[in-house]
Amino acid sequence: MDVIIYHKPACETSRNTLAMIRNAGVEPHIIEYLKCPPTRLLLAQLLVRAGLTVRQVLREKDTPFHDLGLGDPALSDDALLSAIGAHPILMNRPLVVTPEGVRLCRPSEQVLDLLPPQRGQFIKEDGERVIDDQGRRVATA
């Protein structure tokens, strides 16, 4: 299975998502999007495939979102894509692409719907058990 993850190594959610991909027996193509951001056209296409708007992929925390006035509802998608192009940190992550679809994997468990079955238990970095010993999802409270 061909999988691409737009990844930020310093992000716990992104690391957990990458680990779940690998726990499914898949070694993905890892694109560190801050070093190699998707082109404007590619990002627009990925968002369409994911069923997301540009606003839904914008990240506010630890970004220039507020300084750039990106909360203004009058801003067009074109303007928002330009902002992401100039400041890739504005793109929320991880974005995962598989033959099953494209998804912004927040929370990281969102990736499970795009992958083959998990090959064993998976526990997130924070200690939350997501997959049991038989590779089945653990019910959440």
Cross-strand partners of 122: 131
Residue 51 has φ and ψ, to the nearest 5°, of 70, 30
Q: Which of 11, 30, 44, 58 is catalytic?
A: 11
Residue type, 43: L
Residue 7 identity: H
Residue 83: name the closest of 66, 94, 72, 70 by CA.
70
Nearest to 124, CA basis, from 41, 18, 45:
18
36 is catalytic: no
Evaluate the CA torsion angle 83, 84, 85, 86 in order and state its sign. positive
Sign of dihedral through CA atoms 43, 9, 128, 111? positive
In the 8-state DSSP scheme, what is residue 122?
E
| Residues that are catalytic | 11
